[in-house]
Copies of this chain bind each other. A is one copy, B any other.
Amino acid sequence: MLRRCHISVINGNDNAGRHNHFCDRSNPAMTNPRALAALATVACLSATAQAGVVTTDGADIIVNTNSGLEVKTADGETSFKLGGRLQLDGSTWDGATNKGSDDWGSDLWFRRARIELAGKSGDWGYEAAYNLVDSGSIQDANISYEGWGSMFRVVAGQQKEDFGMEDTQSSKWITFIERSMPTNAFETGQSVGLKLTGANDALTYSVGVYRAAIDADDNSLDEAWTGRFVYRPILADDGTLLHLGIGATLRNGSFEALGSRLARGGEDGNASKVQAAYTAGEAEELLIYNFEAAGQLGSGHIAAEYFIAEASDNEAAGDMDAEGFYVELGYVLTGEQRGYKNAIAAFDKVKPASAGGAWELTARYDQLDVDNDDPLMKITGEVGSSYTVGLNWYATQLVKIMANYSYVEVDKEINDQDDGNVFSMRAQYAF
């Protein structure tokens, strides 16, 4: 801390003349050059001669720009954080994954562009995240109360419902460019509601009741009850982890289809889906369960989830079933380790340890089955599965470059084809 200091700082100030005067022989401490150097060292905390002084008129403050901008009081009472994320994606896909007439579909677009504010004041916190794409919409807007400790945190407003490990994980730090097909098919997304959540080293839980998001196109979600429980038999200081969890969500509203895009990385317009869709009526209730497991050892991690869903109460047609699972593997070649957040029971970022950044190899198998034999349902793809390999480069703490290749198969041909390929790249800046 006491660096870049020169004796000239003392001599360079406005009273230099007087200082020279007072350094008389009668005081050995003041005439000893080493003593003077020590005083100079003491003096020049804020270093360079032309630098101005930064103070605060309230409680002591800590500033950092590790990621965007964070300002907090040293006593931890108040904080303010401004950040955001930019994800620029390029993707190309063919065969069964391509709905269009060309051999290869392709797109270049911003997958996510958000500005994010968060802060706290005493026991109260807030989050506000705004989507810049799609002419603007609110991603998160909530107020939380943390006065009962980390085991009983209340969040009110628009927020993640916390269902499924991969869906709960931040989109900034997901292992692949797109989440797996079952996570896409059964994601609960952002909703307006009230959540009670808590975590310690061994346990994370979240229960809440929700309704449709503020900017939801339709109000297709009337009410949802969602819970998630994760137990960590192993969580060592060296990052060794065993994570086991279950979740459930019961949703009332109108549900027309269950499914997921196949060409993850493409837009809805020209990438095909594995999907079951009602041709008459709508289900009014949707019940989904999931089971999740994850582990980390050194630089390697594994994660797997299984989902099973049933849409019911369609007056015109029968119940609609869907299920799916994925298994993913990741290994950081440069020796770093994925972070893990107890508060949301999900993996976090890889922080590069060296100037060259961190490199991670990844692989995933996922499958989504929407096979139903009701004549009032239109089934696309029936069972979709994909084999994905990827390479992630964490260039700096804020910049991640990702490349993914997927080989995709469907049981029921799409465009007379039963397989396809998807190449994707992402440049991400998360500040």
The interface residues of chain B lying within 8 Å CB-to-CB of A396 are: 121-124
**C-alpha gap A84/B127 in the complex (Å):** 11
Q: Does A327 contact B (CB under 8 A)?
A: no
Chain B nearest CB from A31 CB (Å) reads: 10
- Tell me the smallest distance from the CB of A46 to a CB of chain B, in Å: 5
Cβ distance A36 to chain B, nearest Cβ, rounded Å? 10
Cα A138 to Cα B110 with chains together (Å): 11
Say yes or no: A80-B69 contact (C-beta < 8 A), given A60-B53, A395-B124.
yes
The residue of chain B having its C-beta at the shortest distance from the C-beta of A48 within the complex is: B55
- Considering the chains assembled together, what is the distance between the CA atoms of A36 and B110 in angstroms? 59
Q: List 23 A-B contacts (CB under 8 A).
A: A1-B9, A1-B51, A2-B15, A2-B43, A3-B14, A22-B34, A27-B29, A42-B42, A53-B56, A54-B56, A55-B74, A57-B64, A61-B64, A84-B117, A86-B126, A110-B158, A115-B117, A121-B399, A122-B395, A128-B132, A132-B136, A132-B141, A157-B427
The copy count of this chain in the complex is: 3
Please state if B124 and A132 are interface contacts (CB–CB under 8 Å): no
Which B residues are in CB contact (< 8 Å) with A101? none
Contact B68 A64 (CB under 8 A): no
Evaluate contact between A27 and B22: CB separation under 8 angstroms. Answer: no
A431 CB–B CB distance under 8 Å: yes
Residues of A within 8 A of B (CB): 1-3, 9-10, 13-15, 18-19, 21-22, 26-30, 32, 34-35, 38-39, 41-43, 45-66, 68-69, 71-74, 78-80, 82, 84, 86, 88, 108-110, 113, 115, 117, 119, 121-124, 126, 128, 130, 132-133, 135-138, 141-143, 156-158, 192, 211, 214-215, 355, 395-399, 427-429, 431
Question: Please, which residue of chain B has its CB at the minimum distance from the CB of A399?
Answer: B124
When the two chains form the complex, which single residue of B39, B41, B42, B62 contacts A56, counting CB atoms closer than 8 Å? B62
